[in-house]
Structure 1
Amino acid sequence: MTTNETQIALAPMEGVVDHLMRDMLTSLGGFDLCVTEFVRVVDMLLPPRVFYRLCPELYHQGRTPAGVPVRVQLLGQDPQCLAENAARAVELGSHGVDLNFGCPAKTVNKSKGGAVLLKETDTLYQIVHAVRQSVPAGQPVTAKMRLGFEDKSLAIDNALALEAGGASLITIHARTKVEGYNPPAYWDWIARIKQQVKVPLVANGEIWSAEDARQCQLQSNCQAIMLGRGALSLPNLASVIKHQHQPMRWDEVRALLTRYSGYEIYGDKGKYYPNRIKQWLGYLKRQYHQADSLFNQIRAMQSSEQIVDALR
């Protein structure tokens, strides 16, 4: 992700952006890379089935049906254990490996994973260094971080530690853990970090439109961006940004909802897919007022068949 053209990655949103969502969003174009929900690493080398469950694309050369490469993300605190699992992810077909230093979830942070590690600059270095040593040189080791945990005082030091450890690219969510997802995103802080590190940076946070993307690129001084919630609220946002496509109409979005309901293509999987559709409608409400009324219509439904009938 280092060309002059805008490069766009799909964010790893735990519990939201699974392989079905990656399939759907990348089918609309504009994305250059997907990063998976994190694989939680504690104290053992995980069996291949864990990686295949979170990243079924590994059965298909690590790419979505649209051909977009997928990178497995790992979350943990033990450098050697993360290194062993990183090597396994790449062996199974992941296009490099990403390391999570940004997850703000309390349960994750209490287990010394995700954003809480931003308090420990040396630990960041040790983890990336160990992973870089274990992954073949031709495969990228990347990292995703926030600007800090409680404040931004270690933002530059942390980025320098990731670079020194061997990260080939750093994605920066332009808020601290404490700031969560509350606007604004401090894109200018990414520009400050870029003045100090040499590896490419990817700007992430509060990009909901093509104009947001333009402002983010200007303020962060980064051409590469990562989309998360914005792509869920406007499914073709990546193409709107990169190819100047028109935002999808509601009837087009509704057709996507039907197609990717988990019923027609993937079979009825119980409550999982109905809940996922309801969750997605929560994001769509930001862009489409019709999503609110549709959510109210299906909120009590518990089967994919009922929801698909309603969507039709």
Structure 2
Amino acid sequence: MQIALAPMEGLVDDILRDVLTQVGGIDWCVTEFIRVTERLLPAHYFHKFASELLTDAKTRAGVPLRVQLLGSDPVCLAENAAFAAELGAPVIDLNFGCPAKTVNKSRGGAVLLKEPELLHSILSHVRRAVPAHIPVTAKMRLGYDSTEPALDCARALEAGGAEHIVVHARTKVDGYKPPAHWEWIGKIQDVVKIPIIANGEIWTVDDWRRCREICGARDIMIGRGLVARPDLGRQIAAAEAGREVVEMTWQELQPLLRVFWQQALAKMTRVQAPGRLKQWVVLLTKSYPEAVVLFDALRRETDCERISQMLGVVAQEAA
């Protein structure tokens, strides 16, 4: 079984990838989408979203990173995919699932699920441009405003050369509203020969068990569930292996919060860093009552020194 950390734009950046992969239970992770429009992007732009390319495309914990591209121009995507491979990307992933209105309006993400022929063209161009030993994969939703094109889209991606497909089990219109329609993952797996990876609404070990029972998927990708409970991958791996599932305590999470905050201070402005910390803590409130108390204290706090004191980060470390 493979457990992947999902690419979540504006949330799962290199800092959070570093922290979450230190916990264990994550087999690979994916960058936030890198938007490709009309030109070949420079190396520094790839490094902005994938700083791990400078360290053998792995997080400090040794977890491999895949580079995700988003766009609609097959030729331009192919050129950028080839360059990403030159920079060290071990896998190229293509985004056909982003539900953001601004992305869809500019013909990116889930809106492309209306055009299976274009999906095939993009995959085919990228597959030909990237060295044969580097896999090309894709992530999709069940459709834009209906599930009607889901099977055709999956077939198009397979025919174009996708090594596997991650399926977020909702349409674009569904957004992130429960439930996830896991049964469709099984339907898609029935019509393609490549592996299908299940994604959507896995917050607990019990969710994983239900998802597997409903759709039969062996491999999973988790986004918000892992951000809200950083040891969820480790818990699921233990359950799969028949070992005792031991949950990470709030006290055990504290060093990770401090590492996250120190990296945020080092890489972001003093205006940006507090917001990024609050963004993570608010998701932690779904799993830890103590996070509710911390978030209430942080809610209106903008002074980085006071935040450091709350987290127990000494001044020298926060400098």
Range class of TM-score, shorter chain: over 0.9
| Aligned match for 2:237, one of 212, 237, 242 | 242
The match for 2:260 is 260
CA gap 1:236/1:210 in 2 versus in 1, 3 angstroms: same
Deviation at 1:304, TM superposition (A): 3.2
- Aligned equivalents of 1:295, 1:288: Cα separation in 2: 11
The match for 1:8 is 3
- Aligned equivalents of 1:263, 1:9: Cα separation in 2: 23
| 5+ residue gaps, structure 2 | 240-244, 313-319
| Aligned match for 1:112, one of 107, 112, 119 | 107
The count of residues paired between Structure 1 and Structure 2 equals: 307
**2:273 equivalent to 1:278:** no
- Aligned equivalents of 2:221, 2:268: Cα separation in 1: 32
Task: Tell me the SS of whatever aligns to 1:162.
Answer: helix
Contact 1:194/1:201, CA 8 A, preserved across alignment: yes
The match for 1:128 is 123
Aligned residue runs from structure 1 range 204-219, under 5 A: 204-219=199-214
The match for 1:63 is 58
CA gap 1:264/1:205 in 2 versus in 1, 3 angstroms: closer
Aligned residue runs from structure 1 range 115-264, under 5 A: 115-244=110-239, 245-262=245-262
CA gap 1:268/1:203 in 2 versus in 1, 3 angstroms: closer
Task: Tell me the SS of whatever aligns to 2:18.
Answer: helix
Contact 1:263/1:308, CA 8 A, preserved across alignment: no
Moved over 6 A (4+): none
- Aligned equivalents of 2:10, 2:62: Cα separation in 1: 23
The structure richer in helix per residue is: 2
Contact 1:101/1:113, CA 8 A, preserved across alignment: yes
Of 285-294 and 141-150, deviating more is 285-294
- Aligned equivalents of 1:54, 1:156: Cα separation in 2: 31
Contact 1:38/1:75, CA 8 A, preserved across alignment: yes
The match for 2:308 is 308
Task: Tell me the SS of whatever aligns to 1:15.
Answer: coil
| Aligned match for 1:99, one of 94, 114, 117 | 94
Task: Tell me the SS of whatever aligns to 2:32.
Answer: strand
Deviation at 1:195, TM superposition (A): 0.6
- Aligned equivalents of 1:160, 1:264: Cα separation in 2: 41
Task: Tell me the SS of whatever aligns to 1:243.
Answer: helix
Deviation at 1:263, TM superposition (A): 5.3
Task: Tell me the SS of whatever aligns to 2:266.
Answer: coil
Contact 1:263/1:304, CA 8 A, preserved across alignment: no
Deviation at 1:286, TM superposition (A): 0.7
The match for 1:296 is 296
User: TM-score with structure 2 length normalisation?
Assistant: 0.94
Deviation at 1:211, TM superposition (A): 1.1
CA displacement, residues 247-284 of structure 1 (integer Å, 9 cap, x when unaligned): 21111223321221135983663222211110011111
Amino acid at match of 1:39: I
CA RMSD of aligned residues (A): 1.3
Contact 1:117/1:124, CA 8 A, preserved across alignment: yes
- Aligned equivalents of 1:27, 1:263: Cα separation in 2: 14
Deviation at 1:91, TM superposition (A): 0.8
Contact 1:262/1:269, CA 8 A, preserved across alignment: no
Task: Tell me the SS of whatever aligns to 2:308.
Answer: helix
